[in-house]
Chain A
């Protein structure tokens, strides 16, 4: 498996670590249900999924990778800092 890091180019999977679904962190004051959904519940699609990978053994970038969980094809990779996942935080 290879992931195309926007900064480093295509690199082997073993340079990356995985965090899971890319979700927007709730506001501090959000209801417990929102936090439960953020930490525990997962849509877990069989198909394209936006997820977070960390180029730990490379440039250290957190990436948002859109990948098909059925055939593993990578549809898009962007730097996570260019997304708005911290909107709530």
Chain B
């Protein structure tokens, strides 16, 4: 109910919204919770396990009860806190975890079964008969899972990520944070002030008090104006710090568009719905305030039972009273402010119950001292409370009970780097450990200093200390505004003794009994209790309930609270949408896209694209009339074998190596020798990891006396570059050489086939002189005056060349090459043809160099130089890597009318059973050879080199292939290499 003239939003414009389909009106700038209370709506949600009616408990992001679903379709947003969601025109909210409605929820039947659903009940039951678990019990449990629902559709909202840097990060803009920001800002520090709320002020927004002799709201406004005028201070509202990470790194979530009508944060709109910030701060002042904690008593979970501080917030900030006959139950002085403010606002205060015998008196209302609320009634809204005192029990009509068990400093962020908080007996609360996070200082309520004066003075003092460390010291005396400085008086009250269920964790339905039972069953460690009962595992992560649950556990186990310990606070402080932390990765944004120089031409020609790492490469180039990829592939293969084919190989890693010691590096990184390579020649090289297994292969060309260019496989380009840098910087810093990755600088095309030389001679400025360009030659060429490089190397077994020009000429060169090739009866070929061509020749790729093979496995033991040290040499000599029974590379060809061979199939002796212990090897690569007219394969076979000519059975259960093969040498075509040398 609204109170005329009350609240800071009085006069704000009206806003229409709906709740569970009802059309309602609220005010601009207020939260959904405030608007619901203003409309006398108290039943908002259902609890997780027992589906008990739930109302609004708090006025902040710690809210465990009033979680609602907003919107529908792709932007449907479950589990939004009504207490932080700002109203906007047209907002649609509805209750969740209830069916058919929040008023009448069928699953409330669970509440009746509660005696059987206590702590740990799952673990003791649902086991008989065994088969029923998967078929009946688990599906049943699963159907009840969760709170709100996602739409199942791809989110259409826009999200962003950003970086921020500052000298001083101030977390929280209550009196402590504002004072810290003012002090540091005035001295010129680069300050970032983050506030989770819409407005600066923190608790001051909810209180009626004075600062510097004027209403706190006026002081706040003046402070805000001053902060805004300081260029070196940035204020971020609606922004919560979510996590603390190493070395001054903080995560923060800015809710940019939650307060705007839905269309304003969709993809393509001006602003995102949320922005996730990565902030790097030299210093941090934590001024996060405190969270009030409930008291456990029988039926303390009914709608209408709220935190005392929240009642004050609704009353003072939004001019709303949550009830017409309000009662108060507390164990501390602070809560009495609620009584005072209610009376001042003219709300009927039915009773003030204080558990302390020495509770303060008031002129405005009577105080029931040494009394406790021991029960409540009312099904969907509080109707009455039962108070137990020396006079016995009495029932008091009340539709709102404001409760307070004291305040817990919001020290969560100080624990994110594993520090544990310390217990302060006089506060009955945990406070942050000094130095818990390097560079962070906790001030004000989050440091256990609850008065406004203490907040202001600690905020200022911390800022002065930070300024000194920043070298911005020499601050003139800070003017400290006058403010209330009441002592914080509290007496222990965690759970009111008595029968029935007294809730600790409202959302997860964890009661005092559950904690007691857990302790009885020897789940006495606080972590065991948490995990056994699910206490503190709800969406508020125990912000409301953990300390009380701990106190109950301490009590039943006869230990003190500090002895009992705490569970660990983990990031994030407030839940963060995956969409925000992963912003940018949806759709094509997950990884960069790399395109080859011929990409546009390939697209124009309708080539099918495949991803190779981050690259896109053409798989094949279809021609009119071809109905499947195999036809295109076969044609491309035959054109290479019979005339000339052109293929973009620019993705191969290219590393330029120059310097007097370049050859030393190559000798050290390759198993074979490169210092003996002549200028103008190319050599194939094999490199190992230090563990002795093959890391990569490729060619390396010597372009000059001290100049080499190394080629790596596409996949290993980055890894090899890091490896070379490691050798030259860490192992051999004395070597004089430089490495440059030039992968992107050159467009490189393979020109392969018997007519390749004819094509080139027609194209190059100078035709190739026959004697100067033998197999494995390389050198400079010019093409239309453009300087390029030519390498006579072959991955197809044909006479072949790779021509490289600066990447900017790639598109033009590829077009020209295709035109010439087609004129000669050839054309472009893609990855599919390339793959078959190399299988026919037994050349390996990373399908064979799969990380677990040795040079010997590949039949390349001859490339392991005996004369020099190289990376991996020592470990390659381990007996297990030299063992004769290892699997070795072989070729496989089908016997009889076999149609299919498949990669990934395993190999067995024809007579042996198909089971693991009989496994003889596996197939790595297959292709259809149009030349041979059948499938061919490469694979690894135990002692394969010695089994050439044997029959072997290839079994692929996955694809239903079972084929008899003959083991052959891993080369199917031109074994002597005459064609490529010719």
A residues sitting closer than 8 Å to B (CB atoms) are: 1-2, 10, 12-13, 17, 19, 25-26, 28, 30, 32, 35, 38-39, 52, 54, 56, 60-62, 71-74, 79-83, 85-86, 89
Contacts and interface: CB of A to CB of B under 8 A. Distances in A.
Nearest to A26: B874
Given A1-B245, A2-B280, A28 B722 contact: no
Given A2-B247, A56-B722, A32 B874 contact: yes
Interface in B869-892: 869, 873-875, 877-878
Contact of A17 (B418, B722, B733): B722
Interface stretch (B115-123, B304-312, B479-487, B724-732): B724-732
Contacts of B869: 28, 89
A81 B730 contact: yes
B726 A62 contact: yes
A68 to B, nearest CB: 11
Contacts of A26: 874
A8 B540 CA distance: 41
B246 A2 contact: yes
Contacts of B249: 1-2, 12
Given A28-B873, A54-B725, A56-B718, 9 more contacts: A1-B245, A10-B247, A25-B731, A35-B875, A62-B730, A86-B730, A86-B731, A86-B732, A89-B869
A74 B246 CA distance: 10
Contact of A2 (B248, B417, B668, B878): B248
A20 B722 CA distance: 14
B523 to A, nearest CB: 29
Interface in B437-473: 438
A13, A39, A56, A74: which has the most chain B beta carbons within 10 Å? Answer: A39
Contact of B732 (A1, A17, A72, A89): A89
Nearest to A83: B730
B878 A85 contact: no
B690 interface: yes
Nearest to B739: A60
Contacts of A2: 246-249, 280
A15 to B, nearest CB: 13
B247 A85 contact: no
B956 interface: no
Interface in B747-768: none
A39 B878 CA distance: 12
B246, B280, B873, B878: which has the most chain A beta carbons within 10 Å? Answer: B246
List the 4 shortest-distance A-B pairs measured between CB atoms, nearest first: A28-B869, A86-B731, A81-B733, A1-B246
Contacts of A38: 690
A86 B726 CA distance: 10
A38 to B, nearest CB: 8
Contacts of B875: 35, 39
A39 B691 contact: yes
B729 A62 contact: yes
B165 to A, nearest CB: 10
B725 A62 contact: yes
16 contacts: A2-B246, A2-B280, A26-B874, A28-B873, A30-B874, A35-B875, A39-B875, A61-B729, A62-B725, A62-B726, A74-B247, A79-B729, A81-B733, A82-B733, A89-B668, A89-B732
A11 to B, nearest CB: 10
A1 B733 contact: no
Interface string B794-808: 000000000000000
Nearest to A22: B730
B248 to A, nearest CB: 7
A-side interface mostly: mixed
A62 B11 CA distance: 63
B732 A71 contact: no
Given A32-B874, A56-B722, A89 B247 contact: no
A26 B731 CA distance: 11
Contacts of B877: 32
Nearest to B872: A39
Contacts of B278: 12
A89 B731 contact: yes
Contact of B247 (A1, A56, A86): A1
Nearest to B692: A39
B280 A85 contact: no
Interface string B401-434: 0000000000000000110000000000000000
Contacts of A71: 417-418
Contacts of A73: 438
Contacts of B731: 25, 85-86, 89
A27 to B, nearest CB: 8
Contact of A86 (B248, B280, B733, B874): B733
Contacts of A61: 729
B62 to A, nearest CB: 29
Contacts of A12: 249, 278, 280
Contact of B729 (A1, A32, A80): A80
Given A2-B246, A60-B725, A74-B247, A52 B730 contact: yes
Contacts of A52: 726, 730
A54 B729 CA distance: 10
A28 to B, nearest CB: 4
Contacts of B247: 1-2, 10, 72, 74
Given A2-B246, A2-B249, A35 B730 contact: no
Interface in B268-296: 278, 280
Contacts of A25: 731
Contacts of A1: 245-247, 249
Interface in B669-698: 690-691
A10 B165 CA distance: 12
Contacts of B280: 2, 12
Nearest to B247: A2
B245, B690, B730: which has the most chain A beta carbons within 10 Å? Answer: B730
A32 B390 CA distance: 84
A13 B249 CA distance: 11
Contacts of B733: 80-82, 86
A60 B877 CA distance: 32
A1 B246 CA distance: 4
B723 to A, nearest CB: 10
A19 B689 CA distance: 13
Contacts of B730: 52, 62, 80-81, 83, 85-86
A55 to B, nearest CB: 10
A2, A30, A73: which has the most chain B beta carbons within 10 Å? Answer: A2
Contacts of A79: 729
A54 B246 contact: no
Nearest to A19: B726
Contacts of A30: 874
A19 B723 CA distance: 10
Contact of B874 (A28, A60, A85): A28
A71 B248 CA distance: 13
B668, B691, B725, B732: which has the most chain A beta carbons within 10 Å? Answer: B725
Nearest to A17: B722
Nearest to A88: B731
Interface string B237-269: 000000001111100000000000000000000
A31 B804 CA distance: 45
Interface in B856-880: 869, 873-875, 877-878
A54 B874 contact: no
A39 B873 contact: no
A60 B438 CA distance: 29
B691 A54 contact: no
A6 to B, nearest CB: 12
Contacts of A83: 730
B276 to A, nearest CB: 15
A62 to B, nearest CB: 4
Contacts of A28: 869, 873-874
A52, A60, A72, A83: which has the most chain B beta carbons within 10 Å? Answer: A60
Interface string B604-617: 00000000000000
Contacts of B726: 19, 52, 54, 62
